Amino acid sequence: MKLLLDTNRYTDFARGEHEAVHIIKGASAIFVPFIVLAELRGGFACGNRTRENESALTRALQQPSVSALYADNDTTHHYAAIYFQLRRAGTPIPTNDIWIAALAIQHELVLFSRDPHFQHLAQLARV
């Protein structure tokens, strides 16, 4: 399974949460969206363990099965379609999560997140 991590599931993994560790270790490839990297680093900057958390993230990103994933022009088209779908249905979700969903759909990845609002996107594969 090719997995796209949301911020909350990276955090669960970093804390050693059993389900997150099991699913992430079972993935054939793991992608970390640029949005998640930014959210994590924002949290690190506000915390007391900035250096340790950044070191752990750097080590994770250096693993052969782990890659950062960035938006491109195609991603913006997926974003627009999702934005329109959610707006039409009256089920908005946070902007960062639209980017995450757009990347997952674009690259045909399975999203690993605890956020229930992703259920509004039937086309999004989720763990």
Using pLDDT thresholds of 50, 70 and 90, give the confidence band for residue 96. very high
Instruction: Report yes or no on 69 lying in a domain.
Output: yes
Q: Would 126 be classed as within a structural domain?
A: no
pLDDT in tens, 30-85: 999 999 999 999 999 999 999 999 999 999 999 999 999 999 999 999 999 999 99
3-state secondary structure 98-125: HHHHHHHHHCCCEEECCCHHHHHCCCCC
The pLDDT, as a whole number, for residue 55 is 97
Quote the domain boundaries for residue 31: 2-120
pLDDT of residue 47: 94
Task: Please tell me the total count of domains within the chain.
Answer: 1
**Which pLDDT belongs to residue 99?**
98
In a domain, 56, yes or no: yes
> Residue 39 domain-assigned?
yes
**Beta strand extents in 14-120 (DSSP E only):** 29-33, 66-69, 110-112
Kindly state whether residue 127 falls inside one of the protein's structural domains. no
| Beta partners for residue 2, in sequence order | 29
- Total residues belonging to the chain: 127
Under the phi-then-psi rule, with left for phi > 0, alpha for psi from -120 to 50, and beta for the rest, what region is 90?
left
CATH number reported for the structural domain that contains residue 39 in this entry:
3.40.50.1010
Give the pLDDT score at 60: 96
